Amino acid sequence: MAMHVLVSDTLEEVTDPSDWSECKFPELADLDSYLRCQVCKDFLKAPVLTTCGHTFCSICIRRSITESNKCPVCLEETYESGLRKVLLLDNIVRWFSQNRQELQDKLQPEHINDSQEQENSDINESSYIVTNNSKGKENQNTPSFSIPRDISNVPFHNEISSDPPNAKTEKKVLAECPICGVFMPLSEIQGSHIDKCLTSGDHDKSRQPNSDQPRPNGQKTVRSKTLNNFFDKDKNSSGNNSQLQPNSVKNKQRLANLDTSISTSRLKEKLTSLHLSSSGTRNQMEQRMKEYINLYNANLDSINPASDRVVVDRLQKWEALINNKSNSGGVYNSNNTSNARNMNSPPVNYDEPTIKRQKIQHDEWNNKNNDQYLELIKKARANMKKQKNKEKPSTDNDSRSKAESFSDNDTELLL
Amino acid sequence: MSTLPKRIIRETERLISDPVPDITATPHEDNLRYFDVSLKGPAGSPYENGVFKLELFLPDDYPMTAPKVRFLTRIYHPNIDRLGRICLDVLKNNWSPALQIRTILLSIQALLSSPNPDDPLANEVAQEWKGNHAKAIATAKEWTEKYATP
């Protein structure tokens, strides 16, 4: 749908799996949706795994658990103590969201890439192109890593290192060890080699992996620079290993959940000891404390956690949002929005400059957003009209597509 | 105007650009958390051919709490009362932040296809539904024609 192009133009920050629908490889929409949190619908941030096997942003599932101890997907009982961070996934998502725009640009249908592009590209061929096209820095000292060509067929939770479903191709796939840069069968890397490589730690970093080295089976070389960025970035942040958090994080203790039976004076003490404001009502203090605990613990699930200062900033933003929003009208009083607009009730705790800054930020954001919104609505309406006119002649078609999308939506419902 | 979380913007964008068949949901321009919804009665139900208006509001802590939804058009249904309030598990106990406006509206549409008189909100309607089914269906059709025909 042309709409999506328009939308991503006007609302750049808001991405959606459907953004891929117009590109040469629309199947990427699936990968795009797998890498998103079911709660915020955005790319996973500091992903964690629940005991029932579902993955969410750490902060999203923590907030959700604060509300009720149920997995948002399967409604099974879920506890905070059961959450485990998934650092590799964090890296994968970061890579994807950073390179997403570029991938999309390169996969525009009118953009003819190069000779490798064939008219009748099947799935494997297309994924091959994806790999090939992603721009990386060619002269990096970091090792590169071959993605098996049929990775797009691999169910997401098997992750990159799992066996491709097609055993025949699996035999052929030579991959480069991400640590030492030596080419070898994928199964060997996944087996013992990578462990050896990691533990020995004496891999020769000066060895420049020859990315143009031909594959022995005569296939075109996959110059897999895609994961290079991923390792580079990581190198900057946390050393060579893609799954290592900075050492400073390891020593950090997670904050225990708030015992809501503690006295108000103890709660104030606690807040003060964490350098947080202890103003406001008891309820506001509790909310602040809970959100801070969630933000703090979620931050520790990130592969590259932010400083405590940033966590406090996030808390302030959150609180400003809450204060700004409160009293914005209920479902039964729709027309008091002018009222709501004046409801910038003073945040309870922050110093004057912070409040002002936040207000300005909100106003700016609102204004900007509002324009885009109006534009968007206009475009969408025009689009809908166009579609309606198009669909009118063929009522038969219409009802069929109705039935189809209905069943689609049913599945979504069950998720 | 209150600040909008990204998730709401995303959902709105999808609702407008890729609408659910037979359902429209449009945000108010002055309050983007408040939606005007119209929903076609499902084929094969006594609500067929009716177009029902609803209002939907996303509370501050959405998606941690469910959207508030209410029928504005009168409807004869055992799980919907005179004020338009809806008795539906996913709007109450079974709400999950993984659900969204789209899925909720589909659930409501499904509720029109399969009323549940054993868990009623409108007691009289439910009794009629169970005691004199044919008459209840006739009344539902009549109301649809009276209130929900555009």
Report whether pLDDT(A122) > 60: no
Higher pLDDT, A138 or A245: A245
Q: Which two tokens stand for residue B61?
A: 């802590």
Asked if A369 and A377 count as a contact pair (C-beta separation under 8 A), the reply is no
Report whether pLDDT(B110) > 80: yes
B28 touches chain A (CB under 8 A): yes
| Cα-only R_g, chain B | 16
Number of compact structural domains in chain A:
2
Q: How confident is the model over A187-217, as pLDDT tens digits? A: 666 666 666 666 554 444 444 444 444 444 4
Report whether pLDDT(A144) > 60: no
Q: How much is the mean pLDDT over chain A?
A: 66
Tell how far CA A122 is from the center of its chain: 27
In a domain, A203, yes or no: no
Upper half-sphere CA count for residue B110 (Cβ side, 13 Å):
16
Which of A301, A328, A355 is the last residue in one of the domains?
Answer: A328
> Which residue of chain A is at minimal alpha-carbon distance from B95?
A72
What gap in Å lies between CA A15 and CA A13, rounded to an integer?
Answer: 6
pLDDT of residue A213: 44
- Contacting residues for A113 by C-beta, under 8 A, at least 6 apart: A106, A129, A133
Helices (H) and strands (E) in chain A, counts: 16, 5
Q: Which of A111-115, A394-398, B109-113, B136-140 has the lowest mean pLDDT?
A: A394-398
pLDDT of residue A190: 66
In a domain, A240, yes or no: no
Tell how far CA A36 is from the center of its chain: 5
Upper half-sphere CA count for residue A278 (Cβ side, 13 Å):
12
What gap in Å lies between CA A23 and CA B144, rounded to an integer?
Answer: 44
Which of A276, A311, A328 is the last residue in one of the domains?
Answer: A328
∠ CA A341-A329-A340 to the nearest 5 degrees? Answer: 10
Q: How far is B132 from chain A (nearest CA, A)?
A: 31
* Model-wide pTM > 0.90: no
Using CA atoms, how far residue B149 sits from B50, B75, B76, in Å, is: 5, 12, 14
pLDDT of residue A139: 39
Give yes or no: residues A260 and A306 share one domain.
yes
With a pLDDT cut of 90, the percent of chain B lying above it is 75
Asked if A70 and A78 count as a contact pair (C-beta separation under 8 A), the reply is yes
End-to-end Cα, chain B, rounded Å: 32
Phi-psi label, residue A302: left if phi above 0, alpha if psi -120 to 50, beta otherwise: beta
Q: How confident is the model at residue B4 (pLDDT cuts 50, 70, 90)?
A: confident
Give yes or no: residues A255 and A319 share one domain.
yes
Q: What is the CATH number of domain B6-147?
A: 3.10.110.10
Give yes or no: residues A314 and A260 share one domain.
yes
What gap in Å lies between CA A259 and CA A289, rounded to an integer?
Answer: 10
**Which of B1, B13, B33 shows the shortest C-beta gap to A376?**
B13
In a domain, A257, yes or no: yes
With a pLDDT cut of 70, the percent of chain A lying above it is 47
H or E stretch covering B38:
strand B34-40
Q: Which two tokens stand for residue B104?
A: 């909720």
> Which residue of chain A is at minimal alpha-carbon distance from B11?
A41
Domain that holds residue A257: 250-328
Report whether pLDDT(A334) > 50: no
Active site residue B87: yes
Report whether pLDDT(B138) > 90: yes
In a domain, A62, yes or no: no
Q: How confident is the model over B43-94, as pLDDT tens digits? A: 999 999 999 999 999 998 899 999 999 999 999 999 999 999 999 999 998 9
Which of A300, A328, A356 is the last residue in one of the domains?
Answer: A328
Strand-strand pairing, A55-57 and A47-49:
antiparallel
Give yes or no: residues A319 and A373 share one domain.
no
Residue with tokens 């009362």: B81
Q: Which amino acid appears at position A6 of this protein?
A: L
pLDDT of residue A188: 66
What gap in Å lies between CA A72 and CA B98, rounded to an integer?
Answer: 5
Tell how far CA A352 is from the center of its chain: 34
Q: How confident is the model at residue B17 (pLDDT cuts 50, 70, 90)?
A: confident
B59 CB neighbours in chain A (<8 A) are 330
Among the listed residues B87, B90, B99, B137, the single catalytic one is: B87
Report whether pLDDT(A33) > 50: yes
Q: Which residues of chain A from 39 to 98 reach within 8 Å of chain B, CB to CB?
A: 39-42, 60, 63-64, 67, 70, 72-73, 75
Chains A, B: CB contacts within 8 A come to: 137
Could you tell me where the beta strands, DSSP code E, fall in A46-141? 47-49, 55-57, 84-85
pLDDT of residue A116: 46
Q: A161-165: long-range contacts (C-beta < 8 A, 24 or more apart)?
A: A161/A189, A161/A190, A163/A187, A163/A190
What ipTM goes with this model? 0.79
Q: What are phi and psi of B71, to 5 degrees?
A: -75, 135
Q: How confident is the model over A272-314, as pLDDT tens digits? A: 988 898 888 998 899 899 999 999 999 999 888 888 889 999 9
Interface mutation vs chain B, best among A331, A369, A385, A408, most B CBs within 10 Å: A331
What gap in Å lies between CA B21 and CA B43, rounded to an integer?
Answer: 12
